[in-house]
Amino acid sequence: MSPEQRKRLSKLLSLLLRHDPARAGLRLDEEGAVCLADLLAALRLQRGWEQVTEAQIQEVVAASDKQRFEIIGEKIRARYGHSVSQTVTYPEIRPPGILYHGTSPKALPSIRTHGLKPMQRQYVHLSTQIDQARQVGRRHAPDPVVLTVRGQEAWEAGVKFYQPEERIYLSTAIPPAFIDLPGGEGPHNGSDDP
């Protein structure tokens, strides 16, 4: 399988496992997984993927640098990034003291007031590494800002955290009191200017 084919299959898996399983007649279970055999059958009904194999799906899962998917026994699921209405669950975990979130500078006024919210996704996405958060933020703006989230303090105040993979944490909404803005600016500086 060429790198381009792997990329295309990864995008299709994201669509079906994170955003629109019904498009292919799939239904996620309570943990966000589907039977691998059912996924394979659904993929083979997609134009251009009639010959896809289970080995190729496993290759995409293994080659994903962001560990987007996981196979557990006979099932497969996306680890994070879901926009489907059914909540995908993970075991709750105590987070590290500091986590990072990349975003657009335009979002700062809202974050100062309301904190971080899942928006169209099920969870807030956080990173253990500044560079990774900056890379994610570039999806929203060419020159993103990286926020520091005091994960341990937020967890102690009741925010729930989950860890679908080593470098990624997911959480429920994070109040502004636990978010430090760039340049040492706290969440409330009396101004709406980024």
- For the stretch 23-34, pLDDT in tens is 777 888 777 788
Mean pLDDT of the chain: 83
pLDDT at 83 over 90: no
What does the pLDDT average to over 144-152? 95
For 20-29, 85-94, 101-110, 173-182, which range has the lowest pLDDT when averaged over its residues? 85-94
Q: Is there a contact between 101 and 139 (Cβ–Cβ < 8 Å)?
A: no
The reply to whether 171 falls in a domain is yes
Same domain, 119 and 62: no
Beta strand pairing call for 161-165 and 145-149: unpaired
Three-point CA angle 118, 101, 116, nearest 5°? 35
Domain count, the chain: 2
93: in domain: no
Residue pointed to by tokens 């993979």? 165
| Inside any domain, residue 94 | no
Residue 177 in domain: yes
Q: Which of 19, 49, 78 is the last residue of a domain?
A: 78
pLDDT number for residue 114: 92
Residues 105 and 72 placed together within one structural domain of the fold: no
Give the pLDDT confidence score for residue 85 in this predicted structure.
53
Domain ranges, residue 157: 99-184
| Strand, coil or helix: 63 | helix
Query: 12 lies in a domain?
Result: yes
Does residue 192 fall inside a structural domain?
no
Give how far Cα 41 sits from Cα of 34, 50, 110, Å.
Answer: 12, 9, 44
Find the CATH number of the domain harbouring 132.
Answer: 3.20.170.30
Tokens 């636990």, residue? 178
Task: Identify the pLDDT of residue 118.
Answer: 83
The dihedral formed by the CA atoms of 99, 100, 106 and 109, expressed in degrees to the nearest 10: 20
Tell me, yes or no, whether 126 lies in a domain: yes
The reply to whether 21 falls in a domain is yes
Report pLDDT for 63.
83
1 residue type, one letter = M
Percentage of the chain modeled with pLDDT above 90 = 34
Kindly report the number of other CB atoms within 10 A of residue 147's CB atom.
24
User: What confidence score (pLDDT) does residue 36 get?
Assistant: 87
E runs forming strands in 11-123 = 33-35, 69-72, 75-78, 99-103
Point out the least confidently predicted range of 52-66, 77-91, 131-145. Answer: 77-91
- Please state the length of the chain: 194
What's 34's domain CATH number? 1.10.10.970
